[in-house]
Amino acid sequence: MQNHPHQPNKLRRLMLKTMMALPATMLFSNVATASEVNSTGLAVTDDTVTVGILHSATGTMAISETGSIQAEKLAIEQINASGGVLGRQIKYIQEDGASDWPTFAEKAKKLLVQDKVDAIMGCWTSASRKAVLPVMEQYNGMLFYPTFYEGLEQSPNVIYTGQEATQQILKGIDWAKETKGAKKFFLLGSDYIWPRTSNKIARKHIEKLGLKVVGEEYYPLGHTQFNSVINKIKLKKPDVIFTTVVGGSNVAFYKQLKAAGIDLTKEKPLVLTLSVTEDEILGIGGENVEGLYASMKYFQSLPNDNNKAFVKAFKKRWGDDIVIGDVTQAAYLGPWLWKAAVEKAGSFDIDKIRKTLPGIELTTAPEGYVKVHPNHHLWSKSRIGHAKKDGQFDVVYESKELIEPNPFPKGYQ
């Protein structure tokens, strides 16, 4: 059948009229095909984009990383409900690092090479991040890493959504000195890179301030016998037990501390932790950590409107009894920062996303406001929380300004 000479123009007008009636996200979905926004062979179709979630769902770190998994899934669900990313719904593939660092590296390679994910939200310990890092750099992946950590690292393939040492460790020690008059510190940690490096930075800062370290001990991940070190602490009589013990070991440590007669509410000694959030307290029991101080950037009890909406949505999704800790909140930021960077780039191409990430900001972050620094860390506030029997924290200190991330502080390397 021969076409009518005016039919193409009529068809074009009809298409334009139809497109103008569509919501922006749907319109973009029809216009921007996979080949236009992604030329790298990643798992992107006209309708979906796939990302990876890589955390410990089993093993000693599951107590800490379960919240991160829940937060990342919630963020993805919320983004999908609001139209997705560049008009595409986000699919995710979840892998279990199983609290084992070689397994983390193996799963990261699988997600990048086999599944071709556009980003990975994952890891918790520095040991798992260090295991995954060469894989991310070799295969040009993008990892959104949510945990506070020791700093002394910067990678073009990682966005660090937790705090580095100057934002957490130095500010925490300054607070203990200035507010509590602390002079003697006992350093205690799990035996791997983050606690050892964090305590090395802490020792330098303590000594720089003219204060004293009276003891320093490390124990393997999963360790549950702390009675000998508790006896050493009682003999040394520090003003502060500065602890970087992680994961399930905290359950045993705080119960044995209480059984040994150390009442944290009396603050003699005062316990300042970098690694016990509301998530860990759920396993430890609020009655065993009442009086504890934690140096974090986020607490569930923050009273701002962003956080109230986040807490409400989190509980609606995962249950009224659920709690939200610092790393859980930082994990929630990952998918949102990735979405903002992808949309600014107009592409799922990793190299293009990387160029847009510095300067990306979220005014809706539960912690209040965040912005990506060119060094791939976030500007954030420092806060000190005082643990209550119900497992929540009263925020007793908050820095006035956002603190610029400085992963390579001079004199602390």
Strand partners, 62: none
Provide the mean pLDDT of the chain: 91
Helix (H, G, I), strand (E, B) or coil at 351: helix
Write down the pLDDT at residue 245: 95
pLDDT of the residue at 32: 57
Per-residue model confidence (pLDDT) at position 6: 38
Q: How confident is the model at residue 68 (pLDDT cuts 50, 70, 90)?
A: very high
* Cα separation, 398 vs 353, whole angstroms: 32
pLDDT, position 35: 64
The domain defined by 168-296+381-398 carries CATH number 3.40.50.2300: yes
The pLDDT of 334-358, averaged and rounded, is 97
Cα 347 from Cα 359, distance rounded (Å): 17
C-alpha distances in Å from residue 338, one per residue of 44, 72, 85: 15, 12, 9
Q: Is 187 helix (H, G, I), strand (E, B) or coil?
A: strand
Amino acid at 325: G
pLDDT category of residue 24 using cuts at 50, 70 and 90:
very low
Q: Whole-angstrom Cα distance, residue 110 to residue 108?
A: 5
pLDDT at 22 over 50: no
pLDDT of residue 36: 67
Share of the chain above pLDDT 90, in %: 84
- Give the confidence band of 15 by pLDDT, cuts at 50, 70, 90: very low
Confidence of residue 411 (pLDDT cuts 50, 70, 90): confident
The answer to whether 142 and 353 have CB atoms below 8 angstroms apart is: yes
Give the residue, 324 or 413, on which the prediction is more confident: 324
What does the pLDDT read at residue 40?
Answer: 79
Domain-wise residue ranges, the chain: 38-163+304-379, 168-296+381-398
208: its two tokens: 């720089």
Give yes or no for residue 7 having a pLDDT over 90.
no
Is 168-296+381-398 the same fold as 38-163+304-379?
yes
Q: Return the higher-pLDDT residue of 388 and 64.
A: 388
CA pair distance 73, 70, nearest whole angstrom: 5
Query: 161: closest CA among 397, 371, 383?
Result: 371
pLDDT of residue 29: 40
The arrangement of secondary structure in 38-163+304-379, i.e. its CATH architecture, is 3-Layer(aba) Sandwich (3.40)
Helix, strand, coil % (nearest 5) of the chain?
Answer: 45, 20, 40
pLDDT at 10 (0 to 100):
42
CA separation for the pair 342, 412 (Å, rounded) = 35
* Per-residue pLDDT tens digits for 221-271: 889 999 999 999 999 999 999 999 988 899 999 999 999 999 999 999 999
pLDDT digits (tens, 9 = 90+) for 124-181: 999 999 999 999 999 999 999 999 998 999 999 999 999 999 899 999 999 999 999 9
Q: Which of 208, 135, 132 is nearest to 170 (CA)?
A: 208
* Beta pairing, strands 120-122 & 48-55: parallel
pLDDT on residue 372 = 98
Strand bridging mode 240-244 / 143-145: unpaired
* Overall average pLDDT of the 15-32 stretch: 40
